[in-house]
């Protein structure tokens, strides 16, 4: 097992963006949960803002298995949950499917995130964006999504916050506009990959870590190239990480 791998203990702040890309065969949901739980378990007063189109009950159910009670965190103000789906829907039309550009707008979502960050001034803020890709898939223009991403990074710099954003990739050799923007702005790019040989019982997937364009000359950043990707195996609420070929000793 690799101790301290992706335990999100030493995150860079000041608007740093950690980009996590994944595939439907190897979802990176576990990494988002890992980051949130690590942040909320610290006694140093971190504040977490989760932006997700998934219902909060799912986040709570996973968290409670790791000993983190999100209800308590919400009550104490260390956690804010921004429902992406509700923010993009009109109050009178909860399931609006209109193609009218005025019906769907990321401005309201952005304002809600800004309000959450401004509500508390103590503690280190930490923003988790569950799914950027589906914003574009469900009707928003690539330009608006990329503007939203840039605005969010700027907002994070203003509040000295860290952003962890998940972007689904579709297997195309050419990333779309939102992905290109994210790659350009990120400090760290964590790539969660399925096994090339298909699903296995012993190994769930692999993780590679790349230096982002915004990392500059940060020598402390540890990269893990694809050729030496770390493998992981999931349980119901956590993950084990190990080097290739060492799985038998761990599992």
Write out the residues near other proteins by the rule CB under 8 A. 23-24, 29-30, 33, 53, 55, 57-58, 61-62, 85, 93-99, 131, 133-134, 137-139, 168, 170-172, 197-204, 234-239, 247-248, 251
Q: What's the CA gap between 179 and 167, in Å, rounded?
A: 7
| Pick 107 or 200: Cβ nearer other proteins | 200
Minimum gap (Å) between residue 69 Cβ and other proteins: 15
User: Which residues share a beta bridge with 234?
Assistant: 239
C-alpha 225, offset from chain centre: 20
Q: What's the CA gap between 189 and 182, in Å, rounded?
A: 9
End-to-end CA distance of the chain: 9
Minimum gap (Å) between residue 235 Cβ and other proteins: 6
Minimum gap (Å) between residue 40 Cβ and other proteins: 17
Contacts 24+ apart (CB under 8 A), 145-150: 145/106, 145/177, 145/178, 146/177, 146/178, 146/181, 147/106, 148/106, 148/109, 148/110, 149/178, 149/181, 149/182, 149/185, 150/181, 150/185
Count of C-beta atoms within a 10 Å radius of residue 54: 14
| Pick 59 or 126: Cβ nearer other proteins | 59
Minimum gap (Å) between residue 13 Cβ and other proteins: 27
User: Which residues share a beta bridge with 22?
Assistant: 168
| Pick 74 or 238: Cβ nearer other proteins | 238
Alpha helices in 66-185, H assignment, sequence order: 70-76, 84-87, 107-119, 133-137, 142-158, 177-185
User: Which residues share a beta bridge with 208?
Assistant: 191
Q: What's the CA gap between 206 and 228, in Å, rounded?
A: 9
| Pick 76 or 235: Cβ nearer other proteins | 235
| Pick 100 or 122: Cβ nearer other proteins | 100
Count of C-beta atoms within a 10 Å radius of residue 124: 17
| Pick 11 or 250: Cβ nearer other proteins | 250
Minimum gap (Å) between residue 12 Cβ and other proteins: 26
| Pick 47 or 166: Cβ nearer other proteins | 166
Minimum gap (Å) between residue 8 Cβ and other proteins: 16
Minimum gap (Å) between residue 218 Cβ and other proteins: 30
């Amino acid at each position: 097992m690799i101790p301290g791998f992706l335990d999100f203990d030493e995150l860079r702040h000041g608007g740093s963006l950690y980009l996590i890309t994944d595939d439907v065969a190897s979802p990176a949901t576990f990494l988002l949960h890992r980051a949130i739980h690590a942040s909320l378990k610290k006694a140093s007063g971190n504040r977490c803002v989760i932006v997700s189109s998934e219902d909060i009950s799912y986040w709570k159910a996973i968290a409670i298995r790791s000993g983190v009670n999100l209800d308590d965190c919400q009550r104490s103000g260390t956690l804010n949950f921004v429902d992406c789906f509700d923010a993009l829907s009109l109050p009178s039309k909860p399931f609006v499917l209109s193609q009218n550009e005025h019906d769907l707008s990321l401005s309201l979502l952005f304002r809600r995130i800004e309000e959450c960050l401004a509500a508390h001034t103590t503690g280190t803020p930490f923003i988790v964006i569950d799914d950027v890709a589906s914003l574009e898939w469900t009707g928003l223009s690539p330009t608006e999504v990329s503007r939203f991403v840039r605005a969010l990074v700027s907002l994070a710099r203003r509040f000295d916050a860290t952003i962890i954003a998940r972007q689904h990739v579709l297997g195309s050799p050419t990333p779309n506009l939102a992905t290109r923007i994210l790659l350009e702005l990120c400090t760290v790019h964590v790539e969660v990959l399925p096994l090339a040989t298909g699903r296995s019982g012993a190994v769930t997937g692999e993780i590679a870590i790349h230096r982002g364009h915004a990392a500059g000359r940060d020598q402390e950043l540890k990269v893990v190239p694809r050729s030496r990707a770390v493998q992981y195996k999931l349980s119901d609420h956590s993950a084990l990480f190990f080097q290739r070929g060492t799985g038998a000793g761990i599992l």
